[in-house]
Structure 1
Amino acid sequence: MAAQAQHINPDVLAWAMKQAGMGKAQLADEVGAAPTLVDAWLSGSTAPGLTQLRDIAKALRRSTSLFFLPHVPATTPVRAAFRKPYGRRGARELTSEENAEVRIAQRRQKIAIWAAKSVNQDQAVSFPKRLISPAKTAQLVQGWLHWDVTEQVRVGGKSAVTKMVRRSLEDQGIMVVQLAMKSNACRGFSIYDSIVPLIAYNSTGHVSAARTFTILHELAHLLSGEQAVCGSPDDAEEKWCDKFAAAFLIPSDHLNSYMAKYLKKNFIENDDVDSVRRISNRYKASFQCVALRLIDLGLAHQPLYRAVSSSPLEFDGPAYGGEPQTTPLVRIRQYGVTYPRLLLAARDRGKLHDVDARKYLNVNGEDLLKIRQRLTEEV
């Protein structure tokens, strides 16, 4: 029996493809169809079958119902500040995967903002003032977050500092989410909002210390309270944000004291990767972050950065033990704590139905209770 034709709106299909940055040939490859068939869908001369429509929706990361709309949806341009893959400078087009992840993050952020307003938790996040100097701004932010460099140095590993930074930001009402995009995708992005600002970081292919750096880089974008179009980043802005993140993790006075006492030197040579490694382990910062900070302070020259970036010298040690990766733990790792806290608060106030809370968190009833218990334990 022939598959029943699904008479979708060709204009909506064309719009969804454009939004996803996906051309005819790529969509054809994703759904296992000939490019000529995609042309036919776009012209309206042929309608896809149900299975084909589901494949189209999956490829474009949309619901099947979208394609039956009578008109192309009114949209707000995707606007976010983002950190490009290592080594990429200047403007570039976002990939379909990046576009899709930004849209998903925007939807969750809108839900979180609605939830905050519904329970009267809609006070604006009070960011510190952004100064001309990245290092002085980093000092202000450390005070704002009650950040203790001594504790940063004392914790057991680089992933622990990632968690510390994330939790400190979430305590201020910032929504910090973890993504699993391809390793060559952007390292992270941020979407400013006065009530629930959002930071997203890519966990794929990056060591823990690099994720910490990305989170802080995106925080620097949020400090300006401005939106930047993803495809047209300002390289001067990117460099400022990098310097801020490095200064936050490695304060100059602290670093100078460490180098004098433990390394017995006040300058790091271009090939001295071992000293970079020791400083990295001290501050739980990535090799590239250490090199950047040393160069910015005049304690090293630019070739050191190229030396630590040219080969995979840094890696995370194997993880042993730990809790079983249950659905509630996975969701908290993905969404952070700001998002589920706001949803649960709205549910408790009768503003959000239990079914919708489970849907937005992608869990069942038992998992929702476990998330609540987990969040209560972490307060």
Structure 2
Amino acid sequence: MVTKAKINSAMMKWAREYAGFTHGHEERLPKDIKSKYEAWEKGENSPTWNQLREVSKKYHIPTAFFFMDCPPNFDNLPNMINYRKLVADSIYETNSPNLINNIRKSETRREIYLDLLNELNEDILLFKVPKLEHDTKIFSNYIREILDISLSTQKSWYKEVNHYNFLNKWKEVLNEKLGVLIFETEGVLLEEMRALCIFHEKIPIILLNGKDSVNGRIFSLFHELTHLLLGESAICGDDENTQEEIFCNAVAGEFLVPEHDLNISINGVTDLLSYNSLKKLYNSYGVSEHVILRRLLDANKISRKDYISHINSYEESFSKSSGSGGNYLNNMIKYNGKAYYSVILDAYEVGIINSLEFSKFTDLGKKQIPKLQESFYGGE
């Protein structure tokens, strides 16, 4: 006889809603769960222990939660507070279970990161929200100042055409200078979310979409940083028509490709729209062709007709990153971030955490530790 788990049926419903399987997202549940969850939630039947373990994995909830007398208070869940603030009351209506889970994972990783920094007696930076005039160049200059990265340094980062070195350098700088923790999503559609930020006075989060192009992620870093400097959390998709989104885009563009420097770079260039001219510009600044074209339009160096024509051509040939495949360790570093893994590795090496905790915090086995050490400390 198969033993059933005597769960609290109300907790089964709470767990499904907590995981975001509502408002049509129930169709994404595995067949064995989708055909039975309603009976479990009504108390008409109970899952077997194997079924409960599968539900626990899918909902990302420990099995013990299903036996609680009542659902926990959201206000007592540290990783939910800022999430609810971020998406307001539309939490289950507008976001997929994958996005919800990625946001919760980023908050959990931040808590681990913060705890281990304290254990390691490391200084924790406070993220300052400046009182600045709502002006694109003022914000851009402020970012350049606090990051202390000159344009000549930025341009020296060019190594390869896909601009990975630019992305990695900017991630490193934002963490070192401002304490921003940067993660990338796994399995979230680009159409749903390009990037988001969650404001904290200590260790704010920027979450990039791992499916986006390298150049797209670079631009999103500074779009989201602008939101943080405004003291706000935000989810950013394809809606760029609000005043706030327009401003954040403008700041990111001006920071990455300052108008005064662009004017110097194009001085004497006879054909700005030639392949070689555009290539030289976007490789110099570490941005996409799209960003360069937009900056040239904003500086009145090309016509809107030429801009639209080239953008249409650019988008037809544009290829997004798959966000998957390749080396498992490299993928994990991409999703979780080098800054996060560095602190976990430091804590392991000095004995603050053991190998089991290392694996739990990193999704990496103990055998991966030497490889991680080699990746971080083995030289360029």
Report the TM-score when normalising by structure 2.
0.80
Question: Does 2:174 align with 1:169?
Answer: yes
Single out whichever of 56-65 and 25-34 deviates more from structure 2: 25-34
Question: Does 2:221 align with 1:215?
Answer: yes
| Cα separation, 2, equivalents of 1:175 and 1:80 | 19
Single out whichever of 232-241 and 186-195 deviates more from structure 2: 232-241
| Cα separation, 1, equivalents of 2:191 and 2:50 | 31
Q: What is the one-letter code of the residue matched to 1:218?
A: E
In structure 2, relative to structure 1, the CA distance for the partners of 1:9 and 1:275 (3 Å cut) is: farther
In structure 2, relative to structure 1, the CA distance for the partners of 1:239 and 1:28 (3 Å cut) is: closer
| Cα separation, 2, equivalents of 1:10 and 1:243 | 50
Question: Does 2:150 align with 1:148?
Answer: yes
1:99: Cα distance to partner? 1.0
In structure 2, relative to structure 1, the CA distance for the partners of 1:69 and 1:299 (3 Å cut) is: farther
| Equivalent residue, structure 2, for 1:120 | 121
In structure 2, relative to structure 1, the CA distance for the partners of 1:65 and 1:122 (3 Å cut) is: farther
1:249: Cα distance to partner? 1.0
In structure 2, relative to structure 1, the CA distance for the partners of 1:67 and 1:234 (3 Å cut) is: farther
| Equivalent residue, structure 1, for 2:42 | 43
| Equivalent residue, structure 1, for 2:102 | 101
| Equivalent residue, structure 2, for 1:313 | 317
| Cα separation, 2, equivalents of 1:46 and 1:233 | 47
| Equivalent residue, structure 2, for 1:200 | 207
Q: What is the one-letter code of the residue matched to 2:166?
A: V
Q: What is the one-letter code of the residue matched to 1:360?
A: F
1:110: Cα distance to partner? 0.9
Native 8 Å contact 1:31 1:56 kept in 2: no
| Cα separation, 2, equivalents of 1:69 and 1:97 | 25
| Cα separation, 2, equivalents of 1:41 and 1:24 | 19
SS of equivalent residue, structure 2 residue 183: strand
What is the CA deviation profile of residues 14-47 of structure 1, one whole-angstrom value per residue up to 9, with x for unaligned ones? 2222223313864365220486632211111111
Which of 250, 258, 261 aligns to 1:254? It is 261
Question: Does 2:14 align with 1:15?
Answer: yes
Q: What is the one-letter code of the residue matched to 1:219?
A: L
SS of equivalent residue, structure 2 residue 207: strand
| Residue correspondence of structure 1 range 53-72 to structure 2 within 5 A | 53-72=52-71
| Cα separation, 2, equivalents of 1:332 and 1:142 | 27
Single out whichever of 100-109 and 231-240 deviates more from structure 2: 231-240
Report the TM-score when normalising by structure 1.
0.80
In structure 2, relative to structure 1, the CA distance for the partners of 1:284 and 1:349 (3 Å cut) is: closer
1:129: Cα distance to partner? 3.0
In structure 2, relative to structure 1, the CA distance for the partners of 1:128 and 1:289 (3 Å cut) is: farther
| Residue correspondence of structure 1 range 83-102 to structure 2 within 5 A | 93-102=94-103
Aligned residues: 358
Q: What is the one-letter code of the residue matched to 2:144?
A: Q
Native 8 Å contact 2:126 2:201 kept in 1: yes
1:104: Cα distance to partner? 0.8
In structure 2, relative to structure 1, the CA distance for the partners of 1:230 and 1:209 (3 Å cut) is: closer
What is the CA deviation profile of residues 244-297 of structure 1, one whole-angstrom value per residue up to 9, with x for unaligned ones? 1111110111111222233456xx7xxx89865654344231233234333443
Native 8 Å contact 2:11 2:66 kept in 1: yes
| Cα separation, 2, equivalents of 1:325 and 1:28 | 30
Q: What is the one-letter code of the residue matched to 1:164?
A: K
Q: What is the one-letter code of the residue matched to 2:168?
A: K
Native 8 Å contact 2:127 2:204 kept in 1: no
| Equivalent residue, structure 1, for 2:3 | 4
Question: Between the two proteins, what is the percent identity of the paired residues?
Answer: 20
| Residue correspondence of structure 1 range 122-137 to structure 2 within 5 A | 122-127=123-128, 129=130, 131=132, 132-137=134-139
Native 8 Å contact 1:130 1:223 kept in 2: no
Structure 1 unaligned regions, length at least 5: 83-91, 318-323
1:326: Cα distance to partner? 5.0
Q: What is the one-letter code of the residue matched to 2:148?
A: H
| Cα separation, 2, equivalents of 1:378 and 1:69 | 50
Native 8 Å contact 2:226 2:252 kept in 1: yes
SS of equivalent residue, structure 2 residue 21: coil
Native 8 Å contact 1:113 1:122 kept in 2: no
Q: What is the one-letter code of the residue matched to 2:341?
A: P
In structure 2, relative to structure 1, the CA distance for the partners of 1:136 and 1:198 (3 Å cut) is: same
In structure 2, relative to structure 1, the CA distance for the partners of 1:14 and 1:72 (3 Å cut) is: same
SS of equivalent residue, structure 1 residue 189: strand
| Equivalent residue, structure 2, for 1:237 | 244
What is the CA deviation profile of residues 124-173 of structure 1, one whole-angstrom value per residue up to 9, with x for unaligned ones? 23547363222222222123223232343341232221122112112223
Q: Which has the higher contact order (CA 8 A, sep 6+)?
A: 1
